[in-house]
Amino acid sequence: MINFFSKYKFIFYISNFILIVLYLFPGSLLGCFLYNDCSLQPQLTRDFLISSNHFYSFFILSIIGYFTYKDLNKFNFLSIYLILISIILEILHIFIPTRNFEFSDLFGNLFGVLMVLLINLFYKKYENFKN
């Protein structure tokens, strides 16, 4: 699976593009398709201090990015990119009609990225411990 993502980097780029389109659309594209109402946002699970939808989306994007660039020495650049895009996209909600900047969304974005970074850190320590 890891080789699959490293060979096909376009999966990471497409997932970035889809996330950016969903984030910057004034309203909810998913709500338009699922409920025929662009003002409704589908909720996967209940929120608890952070936005669960934002956490899931950035967690999945970070995992795909990690698997894509695992063997390359670009993981630090990827980490900075994911943190910056999570902050910038949420700040852009200030300027988009019908979208609101919310700290719970921002923390959900950052927590999704940081969870993958922590998992990677523990995985690297376990690999070094095992060898």
User: Distance (Å, rounded) from C-alpha 81 to C-alpha 71?
Assistant: 17
Print burial letters for 107-118: b (CB count within 10 Å at least 16), e (below 16).
bbbbbbbbebbe
- Asked whether the beta carbons of 75 and 22 are under 8 A apart, the reply is no
Give the residue with greater pLDDT, 123 vs 82.
Answer: 82
Give the residue with greater pLDDT, 76 vs 61.
Answer: 61
Enumerate the domain spans of the chain: 2-130
Per residue in 102-115, pLDDT (tens digit) is: 899 999 999 999 99
User: Distance (Å, rounded) from C-alpha 74 to C-alpha 52?
Assistant: 28
Per residue in 1-57, pLDDT (tens digit) is: 556 666 788 889 999 999 999 888 877 777 777 778 777 777 667 777 788 889 999
Q: Shortest CA distance to 86 belongs to which of 55, 118, 63? A: 55
Residue 131 pLDDT:
61
